[in-house]
Structure 1
Amino acid sequence: MTLSKIAQACLLLSLSTTSLISDATPTRADNDKQLSQVVDAGQEINKSASQSQQRVNVINAQIQTKSQQFKTINKEIDGLTVYNQQMKTQVANQLKELDQIAVSMEQVSIIERQVSPLMARMIETLANFITLDVQFLTTERNKRIVDLHSMMERADVAISEKFRRVLAAYQIEVDYGRTIEAYSGLIDIDGSEQNVDFLRIGRVSLVYQTRDGQKLGLWDNASRSWQPLSAQYRLDINKGLRIARKQLAPDLIIVPVTQNSAE
């Protein structure tokens, strides 16, 4: 059977179209290859992004560390600024104190030159006072004067210490005037040296009693000598000796009074 020309033409057109479609459609192998390339490219992108994120994290950590260090250093700078200001104030005050000390040292030198003669006069006055005073503890009191004179010649004793010792000697003499004391010693009685008990009541009365209690005496500062004392004072003197030795409680006693003491 013979096809018409129109049918033949349609058949040819259909076959050409099918051939063209068949030629334009990719094969399965080509699709797999393209898909693999896309996956590989995506993995490379993810890997690069991960590496970039890691670098960003490292840089961010470094920035945080530097920021913290910056804040710490700023705090240290603020503290040092305050400290330096305080030190400047202290240094200024210390410089003022040094100036005052320098002035004081100059004044001390002047005072020292004036104090030494003053102390010498004080010691001499004290020695004269002891000589004119009621004659009690003469050895001890005269030795104190000798020690003071010796001290004044020493270069290893500061002026302040010398002055303190001179004032201490004066204080001891002052205390004698308001204390009661009993002590033992030797005295020449009728040409014979005897051991006696002395009773001193301030500077108003200085008496003695022999150990056997038979002889009593009173220091008379006007005549600078010992005067015999009536036996009527024996009980009071014994009582006074015991009070001075703290063997009795303080009580009223009657004793003769020394006249014209140096006090």
Structure 2
Amino acid sequence: MKVTKWAQTSLFISMSAFSMYGYSMGYTSSDEELNKVVNAGKKINQSANVSQQKVDKINEQIQSKLQQFKVVNKEIDGLNVYNKQMQAQLNNQLTELQQLATSMEQVSIIERQISPLMARMIETLITFVRLDVPFLPEERSKRTADLEKLLEQADVSVAEKFRRVLEAYQVEVDYGRTIEVYSGTQLVDGIERDVDFLRIGRVSFVYQTRDGEKMGMWDKASQSWKPLAADYRTDINKALRIARKQLAPDLIIVPIAQDSAE
């Protein structure tokens, strides 16, 4: 029969107790043998204490590893959620890249189509300025000429060219709803004289000499200047002051071309 270590220890302690009992009852035993028994019991207790400490230490290590395992599992769960979010963002970015690639292909097509469109727009603008009321002729002609040069420049983007063309169109549109006065020279009775030109939208375009004696109106039907009667002098002077912002806007009477679309 196999006896375990703990059973052997109990048996040994029992035998030791029995020996001590026998000694007390008168059995013969030396002091040396008794000391051996006591020392052996102490060693067993010390060994058991050491073993228990080892068990406790191993248990602490197991608990520490278990806690680390739980922390790592939580980190793994968090990383799984994060990976799902990143994958969703990655999928969206791939979709956007595909859309951008498609857009870039379409931009190339648009660029090939928009250059001829701008050329036609500039040509139309040149024709319009030539047939329009002849105010600010040098400024307007220079603007269209600059657009023609701009269209040939390779270092300017298509977007910038188109913006400039639209800007020129917007300037021409604004002329139709503003009042303006500027100085210039005009041939009056065969003599070139300094005059003030007054433009009221596109409905009226007149001039007045600096001394106020001579006035004229652009006649769109005949494409020429027609003299104005002195009756208009007061209203034209008033309109000139309003255009110079010397007077508040007010009702004025000015000559209007009969075939004006305004």
Q: Unaligned 5+ residue runs, structure 2?
A: 1-22
User: What corresponds to 1:130 in structure 2?
Assistant: 129
User: What corresponds to 2:13 in structure 1?
Assistant: none
SS in structure 1 of the partner of residue 57 of structure 2: helix
The alignment status of 1:252 with 2:251, answered yes or no, reads yes
SS in structure 2 of the partner of residue 140 of structure 1: helix
The alignment status of 1:30 with 2:31, answered yes or no, reads yes
Separation of aligned partners in 2, 1:143 and 1:108: 31
TM-score scaled by length of structure 1: 0.79
Q: Which amino acid aligns with 1:236?
A: D
User: What corresponds to 2:162 in structure 1?
Assistant: 163
Separation of aligned partners in 1, 2:213 and 2:44: 134
Contact 1:134 1:262 in 2 (8 A): no
Separation of aligned partners in 1, 2:60 and 2:74: 21
User: What corresponds to 1:76 in structure 2?
Assistant: 75
Shift of 1:67: 2.1
The alignment status of 1:178 with 2:177, answered yes or no, reads yes
User: What corresponds to 2:8 in structure 1?
Assistant: none
SS in structure 1 of the partner of residue 197 of structure 2: strand
SS in structure 2 of the partner of residue 239 of structure 1: helix
Shift of 1:261: 4.9
Contact 1:184 1:198 in 2 (8 A): yes
Shift of 1:260: 3.7
The alignment status of 1:197 with 2:163, answered yes or no, reads no
SS in structure 1 of the partner of residue 217 of structure 2: strand
* Pair 1:106–1:22, CA change in 2 (3 A): closer
SS in structure 1 of the partner of residue 257 of structure 2: coil
Residue deviations 1:69-124 (CA, integer Å, cap 9, x gap): 22222222222222222333333333333332222222222222111111100110
Shift of 1:132: 0.3
Separation of aligned partners in 2, 1:236 and 1:23: 154
Q: Give percent identity, aligned residues only.
A: 67
* Pair 1:234–1:75, CA change in 2 (3 A): same
TM-score scaled by length of structure 2: 0.80
Shift of 1:262: 7.7
* Pair 1:184–1:65, CA change in 2 (3 A): farther
Q: Which amino acid aligns with 1:245?
A: R
> Computing the radius of gyration over CA atoms, which structure comes out larger, 1 or 2?
1
Residue deviations 1:230-256 (CA, integer Å, cap 9, x gap): 221111112112212222211100000
